Copies of this chain bind each other. A is one copy, B any other.
Amino acid sequence: MNTREIDGRSLRAVEKRRARRSDILGAAIRLFSSRGFYATSISDLIKEAGISRGTFYLYFDSKEALFLDLMDVFAKRIMDVVEIVDPAGPDPVQKIYQNVRRIVDVVFNNRELAVIVFRETYGLDSGIDQKLNKLYGFLREMVEGALSKGASWGIIRPVNEQLVTTALIGAIKEVFYHHLVVEPHPVPDRDAFTTSLFEFSTRGLLSV
């Protein structure tokens, strides 16, 4: 019974910890997305999260660590939603479309988080580079795999796979960022949006 009490206590404690952590992450998402990483100070962060200075460092090692955590959260949500497509299976193109469609959902359901991640570029910070590699490396692999498999099956015409992969990812990123930041209207019809994006990409890639 004593151990159960302790368990109960620690369970509650763990839950509380998780909630606190979540609060901080939420505050960070709001601030980083609107002001950017550099313009957001720890002071802003703890005020928005309603915690004390010291508490912040109980949950995160540093401002950068928190930021990288956020990138991880987004990367995970994207990666969780992408399914490996078997080009030998039924209707592989439709499968790819559905992957893109689900990514569209994740992005527009996590607008602020998406802004934070899409804003980042390689070459400034090794920690960020690593996270970007994780996310874009994953996507690149997907795309490159589809491209080469598709080529060997004759669905895709032969292209400079690396370059086209980069171009595709750039195209998608830019379109997202445009709708999130430059003209931040909510996208009314996500299906139409996905189709436009998909059409643009595929029409040039599918043979004939």
Tell me if A70 is interfacial: C-beta within 8 Å of chain B: no
Q: Using Cβ atoms and an 8 Å threshold, which residues of chain B touch A126?
A: none
Tell me if A124 is interfacial: C-beta within 8 Å of chain B: yes
Q: Are B160 and A196 in contact (CB under 8 A)?
A: yes
Q: Are A159 and B119 in contact (CB under 8 A)?
A: no
- The range of chain A's interface size is 35 or more
- In-complex Cβ contact of A182 among B122, B172, B181, B193 (8 A): B122
Tell me if A175 is interfacial: C-beta within 8 Å of chain B: yes
Nearest CB of B to A13, in Å = 13
Q: Which residue in chain B gives the minimum CB-CB distance to A124?
A: B36
Q: Using Cβ atoms and an 8 Å threshold, which residues of chain B touch A199?
A: 159, 204
16 pairs, CB–CB < 8 Å, chain A vs chain B: A118-B121, A119-B121, A121-B121, A121-B181, A123-B181, A157-B203, A159-B199, A163-B197, A167-B171, A167-B200, A168-B171, A169-B174, A170-B170, A170-B171, A174-B174, A203-B203
A residues touching B (Cβ–Cβ < 8 Å)? 34-36, 38-39, 115, 118-119, 121-124, 157, 159-160, 163-164, 166-175, 177-178, 181-182, 193, 196-197, 199-205
